[in-house]
Structure 1
Amino acid sequence: MGLVASLYDDMFPPKSKFSVDDIPDLSGKVAIVTGSSAGIGVETVKALLIHNAKVYMANRSEEKTAPIIKKLKEETGKEAIFLKLDLANLRAVKQAAAEYLSKENQLHMLFNAGVMVPPIGKVTDDGYDLQFGTNVLGHYFLTTQLLPVLVATARATGKPSRVINTSSNGHRLAKTIDFKTLKDGPQRIKKGEANLYAQSKLGNILFANELARQYGDQGIVSTSAHPGTLRTELQRDVSTVQMVLIGWLLHPAEKGALTQLWAGTMPETESYNGEYLSAWARIVKPNAASQDPALAKKLWDWMEEQVAGI
C-alpha cells in the first residue's frame, strides 16, 4: 500500500467486522497495557476488564492513573492494577518488569504503546531520542524482560501469548533506520520530530517481526498494529495549526482500541505472528523496509547492546 492509498485508507477504513462484544471470556487471563492513562490505552483496559481479564496499567504516574482506575471500576465493576513504568528510563523498565514478576507467574497479553512527535529537545533519561527510546527500545527491554513469563504461560496453557506493538501508517515515511540519529546529537536534531516519529514506527514493526521470528516457535505471537488516525493525547505536542489541518481526519479514540484488542484476544489472530494490522481489525501490507529481516536483526542486535549490563 502506497502513501496516498494509505492516507485514503486511514480517512475511510472499511467498517470493522470485529466488535468488543466479540471478545471471549478472559477469566484467568492477565494483561499489561502500557501507556494506559488516556485514549486507546484506557479503552483497551476497559474492554479487557469487561471480559474478566486481570489488567495491569503500566504508566509513569500513579497520581494520574488512580482516578482512571476508580472510574473504570465504577463502569465495569472490575479494578485494574497500577504498575509503575517509565519507558524513558531503562533501569526503571527493568524495575517495572521485576515488580510484575514478583506478583505474577502468568502473562497472556502485552500491549505496547508509545509517544508521538514530542518537542525535539526531549530525550530519554539515557540520552536516546525520546520517540525511539520510548516506542522501540523501552518496549524491547520491557518485552525481553518479560519473555520468560510469556513463554512459560504459553507452555502451561497450550495457547500462544500475545505481544501487540503499536505502530502507525506513519512508518511508510521511513525507508530505513538511521542508527546515527537514535541517540541525541546534531544528526538527530536535523532529522526533525516527524521523521524521528516515522522511524520509531518503522522500528516497532521491525522489532515485532524479529520477535516473531525468534520466539514464534516458543509460543509467542507478535504483531504490530496501526490503530487508525485518532483523537487522543498523542497529539498533545502537535501545533494548533497542524491540529486544524488534520483534525477532520481523526476518529474517536475508542475505535483505536479495536485492532489491538482483536490481535490480543481473538482465536483467529493466534496465527497472525509477524503480521501488520490496521484499522479496523484487518491485515494490511506495510512498507518494504519493515519486511527486511537483515534490518530487523540489525536493530535487535543494536537494542541488545544498549541494554547490556543494565
Structure 2
Amino acid sequence: MGASFSQFFPPHPTLTEANLPSQKGKVFIVTGGTSGVGLELCALLYYAGAKVYLAGRSEAKARAAIVRIKADSTPASGELIFLSLSLEDLTTIKPAVDAFAAAESRLDVLFNNAGVSLPPRGSVSTQGHELQMATNCLGPYLLTQLLLPTLIHTAEKSSPAAVRVIWTSSIVVDTSAPTSGMDISELTNVPSSQQKNYANSKMGNWFLASALADQVGSKGILSLTQNPGNLKTGLLRHAPWILGFATSPLLYPAKMGAYTELWAGLSGDLNVEDGGKYVVPWGRLHPAPRPDLVAALKLKDDGGTGVAALFLEHCERLTADHR
C-alpha cells in the first residue's frame, strides 16, 4: 500500500531542465511525441540540444508540435524530426525503422511512450488484435526489436547503460494486476473488460522491459519500464466521465510525467544491473514491487512462475511476419 501511495504523492523530481546536461550529438526516438507526456519529453530533450524523432501517425500533429516546441525555445537548440509510424498497424513499423536507419547511424534512447487506454469495447488493431495490447505492447515490441542493430551499434561506442530502451507501464500494475501479473489465457480469450485489457498491456510492458534486459544487457543496453505518474493527458479521453471526475484532484501536469521518463532515460544513478526494473514518479526505482510480479519476470528454473516468458512468446509469434 505504501508503494502505491508514494506514486500518488511522489517526492520532487531530481532531474529536470534545470540540471539536465547537454544532449548535443545524441539521437532519441519518442513515440507519441505529438501530445501529452511525449510532447513535454521531446521539448526537454530539444532544449538540451538533442536530435529528437517524434514518432506517430499524424504528420500534421507532429508539425504542430514541432512549431509549438520551437516557439517556446529561445534560442533554438536541438533538432525535431517527424517519423511516420502507427503502432497499432504492424505493417508501418519496418518502413519507419528503415527510414530512420537510412538517416541515422546512432540511437541513444528509445522512449516507448505512446499508448492507448480504455478505447470503446471491441476496438481492434489493423491486424485484428485487441487495440490496447496491439498499441501498447505488440507495436513497441516490434519497433524495439527492429531498432536493436542501431541501439547495439551505439552501445558499442558508449559507456555502459548510456543506451537505453524505456517502456511505459502504469500504476494499475500495482493496483490491478492479478497474481503473477497476467492470466495468459486472456491473450487469446480476450476479456470484455477494457480495464482488464489495459492492465494486461501495462503489465506486458514490464514483461517486455525485463525480457529485453536479459536479451541485450550484456551489450551495455539498459531496458527499464516506468509509471510516468497520474497525469492530466489525453490518455483518459475514452474513460468514463465519472472516473475522470473522481481522479482529477490526484492528477498532475503532463510535464511531471516527462520528468519520470527523463530520469529513466538519462539518470546517471542507473546502471546495466538495473535492467528490467521499474521506475516510479518522478524518477526513482520502485521501492517495493509486488513479490508475485517479480516472480513472474523469472523463469521457472530460476524460481519464478515464467509468465513473462510466455508473454514474450506471444508477442514474438504475433509480430514475426512483420520483420
Please indicate the TM-score interval, normalised by the length of the shorter structure. Answer: over 0.9
SS at the partner of 2:154?
Answer: helix
RMSD: 1.6
Residue-pair matches, total? 303
Find the counterpart in structure 2 of residue 41 from structure 1.
38
1:207 matched to 2:205? The reply is: no
Deviation per CA, 1:93-135: give whole Å up to 9, x if none.
1221111111111000000021111112211111111111111
Indicate conservation of the 8 Å contact 2:217/2:275, yes or no. yes
| Residue range with higher mean Cα deviation, 164-173 or 289-298 | 289-298
Residue 136 of structure 2: aligned partner: 135
**8 Å contact from structure 2 (residues 160, 221) kept in 1:** no
Counterpart position of 2:92: 92
Counterpart Cα distance in 2 of 1:31 and 1:171: 27
- The structure whose residues are more often helix, as a share, is 1
One-letter code aligned to 1:277 = V
What is the match of residue 16 of structure 1?
A: 13
Opposite residue 142 of structure 1, the aligned amino acid is L
Kept in 2: contact 1:118–1:237 (CA 8 A): yes
Deviations 1:163-219 (A, max 9, x none): 010111111212233344335xxx4243x1111111111000011011101110012
Mapped partners of 2:221, 2:237: distance in 1: 34
Give the aligned partner of residue 82 of structure 2. Answer: 82
**Equivalent pair of 2:50/2:79 in contact (CA under 8 Å):** no
Partner of 2:223: 222
Q: Which shifted more, 13-22 or 202-211? A: 13-22
User: Within 5 Å, which residues of 2 pair with 1:1-310?
Assistant: 2=1, 5-76=2-73, 77=76, 78-113=78-113, 114-160=115-161, 161-172=163-174, 173-175=176-178, 176-182=181-187, 187-190=189-192, 192-271=193-272, 272-284=274-286, 285-291=288-294, 292=296, 293=298, 294-310=306-322
CA–CA distance in structure 2, aligned partners of residues 49 and 245 of structure 1: 35
Deviation at 1:92, TM superposition (A): 0.8
Check whether the contact 1:111–1:165 (CA below 8 A) recurs between aligned residues: yes
Local SS of the residue matching 1:115: coil
Distance 1:66 1:123, change over 3 A: same
2:301 corresponds to which residue?
Answer: none
C-alpha spacing 1:170/1:234, structure 2 compared with 1 (3 Å): same
Q: Report if the CA contact (8 A) 1:206-1:296 is conserved.
A: yes
Residue 123 of structure 1 contacts residue 129 of structure 1 at CA under 8 Å; is this kept in 2?
A: yes
SS at match of 2:190: helix
- Shift in CA distance, 20/275, structure 1 to aligned 2, threshold 3 Å: farther
State the identity %: 36
In 1, Cα distance between equivalents of 2:102 and 2:243: 44
Runs of 4 or more consecutive aligned structure 1 residues displaced over 4 Å after TM superposition: none
Residue 300 of structure 1: how far off its partner (Å): 1.4
Gaps of 5+ in 2: 299-305
Q: Which runs of 5+ in 1 are unaligned?
A: none
- Shift of the 199–92 alpha-carbon distance from structure 1 to 2, 3 Å rule, reads same
